Structure 1
Amino acid sequence: MKHLIICALCFCTFQTKGQTFKNPDSLFNPSPYGFSHASSVKTPGELVYISGQSGGLGKDHILSSDFREQVQTALKNLTTVLDSYQLKPENVMKITVLIVDHSAEKLKIWEEEISKTWKNKPFPASTLIPVPRLALDKMQIEVDAVAFKIN
């Protein structure tokens, strides 16, 4: 029974007085890796902290070898977490982008794809960090975010 309760918490919302932690059902379970897909703190509005979303597709976290496909999937995963808070990309205040073996070509792909997700500008504040490697061998990109929701 104890294991059943713990597993039920893996894919649901956990809330305390001012904090909420979410793991949308359509994304993989991050609990074994020590993080939630998103957390928020209530203020006169609500800040939502979104863990790094990779280019891994679905619950099985399938990684394409194509950088553009991973960028598209990472942005889709970010949007999935935002949707769980009834937010849109325009609610994102800050993103951090980690790109393996960053190059001008990869930057151009990132810029093209983020423009498709952020249809209504302005873009959020952003930090891009070139890295030699991410958590899994085939991961090429990871994007985290902080969003704000007015109550």
Structure 2
Amino acid sequence: MPRSIKHLLIGGLIIMTIGVPVATAANEDDRKLAIVNPRNLHDPSPNGYSTAVIMPRGARVAYISGQGGQDSTGALSPDFAVQVKQAYANLRAALEGIGAKPDQVAKITVFVVDHDMSKLEVLTSNVKDMFGKALPAQTLVPVPKLAIDPMLFEVEAVVVLD
């Protein structure tokens, strides 16, 4: 084999192996979500969310379907704030059902019927109550209606499992 081809092959192997992760033992911090709020962006945490959340390498992920404000009998209050509070209680119950805690939630998406700025305070308060300082990434989607006519709010979640 000509010498120039050997050099190309060896060079290619070196390039291919750069950046290959080395197996190491995972520690507790490796399994935690990394919350990122870049300094050059507006701090969203007072509004109850984080700009980005990085999941740990190799994490198992669970998706929780939209949780509305129905109580255990399926009844819905006509009051927006009551529905939001119940929806977060339902989300907490769904998390417990899969063996997870709020600090394992990486992302939530909330759907608000006829959204206006007066509803943000209710949303922010409930998110902060549930998640504390471990605020997940969040997207709010205003919608004209949800699956059931009396529903005013729904929250879904992406969760990292240990």
TM-score, normalized by length of structure 2?
0.63
The C-alpha deviation readout for 1:45-81, integer Å capped at 9, x for no partner, is 32110000001111x3110011111001000000001
Counterpart AA for 1:107: L
User: Which residue is equivalent to 1:45?
Assistant: 59
- Do residues 106 (structure 1) and 153 (structure 2) align? no
User: Which residue is equivalent to 1:4?
Assistant: none
Q: Which runs of no fewer than 5 residues in structure 2 stay unpaired?
A: 1-56
Counterpart AA for 2:68: S
User: Which residue is equivalent to 1:148?
Assistant: 160
Which structure: larger Rg? 2
Distance 1:50 1:128 in 2: 16
Which structure has greater strand proportion? Answer: 1
Distance 1:69 1:88 in 2: 22
TM-score, normalized by length of structure 1?
0.67
Q: Superposition RMSD on alpha carbons, in Å?
A: 1.3
Secondary structure, counterpart of 2:107 in structure 1: strand
Give the number of aligned pairs.
106
Distance 2:82 2:67 in 1: 13
User: Which residue is equivalent to 1:61?
Assistant: 74
Larger RCO, structure (CA 8 Å, separation 6 or more): 2
Identity between Structure 1 and Structure 2 (%): 42
Cα drift, residue 85 of structure 1: 1.6
User: Which residue is equivalent to 2:143?
Assistant: 131
Q: Which runs of no fewer than 5 residues in structure 1 stay unpaired?
A: 1-42
